[in-house]
Amino acid sequence: MKRNIGIMLALLCAASCYSMEEVYQPLLNNESPEQLRKLSKTWSSLLDNYEEIDEDLHMVYNPGCNVSFFGLEKKHPFDSTKYEKIYTFLKKNYPELKFHKPVRPVTNGALSTVHTADYIHSLCLSGFDKFRKAKIQRSRKLIIDISEMEDLGSMKTTIGLCLLYAKLLKPMKLAAQGTLDATILALKNGWSINLAGGFHHAKAEMGSGYCFYADVPIAIQLLHLINPEFKVLIVDLDVHHGDGNEAICGENDKVFILDMFNKNIFADNKPDDEKKVDYMAAIEPGILDAEWLSAQQGKKIDGIEDDEYLEKLEELYTQALDECKPDFIFYNAGTDVYQEDPLGRMNITKDGIKQRD
């Protein structure tokens, strides 16, 4: 079975590019020493050498974002080492590309701008002295449930949980930090791409669907700390509905969401009537059975094809740009709409995805 191809996160600053002083000065205005210490702790892992960053530096990647767990990851439909494959391809074919490497994982302070303290604590290695066994079991079950990797169930000890953190959670934190760094790079240079990230199922109090940390909503918190008036557009073209982004950002009047997805998969994350997706296309692809899809072996598949898909997208995207006039755009470039993806069950060709992007 071919594996899920995955996503790439592109960030576009529609406003003018910013100097270091312009980016950080709002953080310093009218702040008490205690507030400044809190801000420093929250965002301490952001780019340290912002002013020295080359104007041609747009790509963000850390090899630590790849998830490799003694081969167990190969049993998961999500290709957890695809970031390295993308990086290798880019370096081979575009050797002039320069990459920024996030140095440290995202801090718990930054995570706390979106996630609840209970959720963050449930994924931490601290607090094992009291109720050790119960804590380990709860954390292990939570991590396995979110990652959808049942084969990790044997990790029942403190050592096992440490391995889960090192091999699974730390890569996710590095990827989330990549989105924060890419946000700052996009402010400076106009656009940026994080090869990882785009965890659109993570909510404030929980994760799901291989998404632990809500990197885009956290980055939006950073943007609105810099400039509360920034209008932000999330363009989510992963084949699944971005229920985490919707839950966190749906009521924020400075954030707009464009989401095109297969409405027949991942049934638990249907749009919430009480939240909002401003520009939505819940696509009926006509493909419901993954086993049937695998058996087609290249035969023509019924369902939405390139022309109809691109027409829907152009209509929605044009409307979104005209109406909300965003200062900053996050583009979740999910390629699981590809016709041979076993999870997406859509019928979009490689050329169609290239045109879309």
pLDDT digit string, tens, across residues 15-47 = 555 555 555 565 555 556 666 666 767 777 776
Read off the tokens for 357.
């992007």
Please tell me the total count of domains within the chain.
1
Report the pLDDT value the prediction gives residue 262, as an integer from 0 to 100: 87
Residue 278 lies in a domain: yes
Residue 321 lies in a domain: yes
pLDDT above 50 (res 127) = no
pLDDT digit string, tens, across residues 74-116 = 655 667 788 899 999 999 999 999 899 988 899 988 999 999 9
Residue 3 lies in a domain: no
Residue 1 lies in a domain: no
Report the pLDDT value the prediction gives residue 243, as an integer from 0 to 100: 92
The average pLDDT across 294-312 equals: 70
Report the pLDDT value the prediction gives residue 130, as an integer from 0 to 100: 45
In what helix (H) or strand (E) does residue 87 lie, and over which residues does it extend? helix 82-93
Rounded to two decimals, the pTM is 0.84
> Domain holding 164: CATH number?
3.40.800.20
20-28 helix and 170-189 helix, angle to the nearest 10 degrees: 110
DSSP-derived letter for residue 205 is S
DSSP-derived letter for residue 114 is T
Residue 121 lies in a domain: yes
Report the sign of the C-alpha dihedral through residues 133, 135, 141, 144, in that order. Answer: negative
pLDDT digit string, tens, across residues 201-233 = 999 999 988 899 999 999 999 999 888 899 999
The average pLDDT across 53-77 equals: 74
Tell me, what amino acid is at 104? R
Structural domain of residue 234, as residue ranges? 9-356
Residue 144 lies in a domain: yes
Residue 4 lies in a domain: no
When pLDDT is cut at 50, 70 and 90, the band that residue 346 belongs to is: confident
Helix boundaries (H) for 200-348: 215-226, 243-249, 290-295, 306-324
Residue 228 lies in a domain: yes
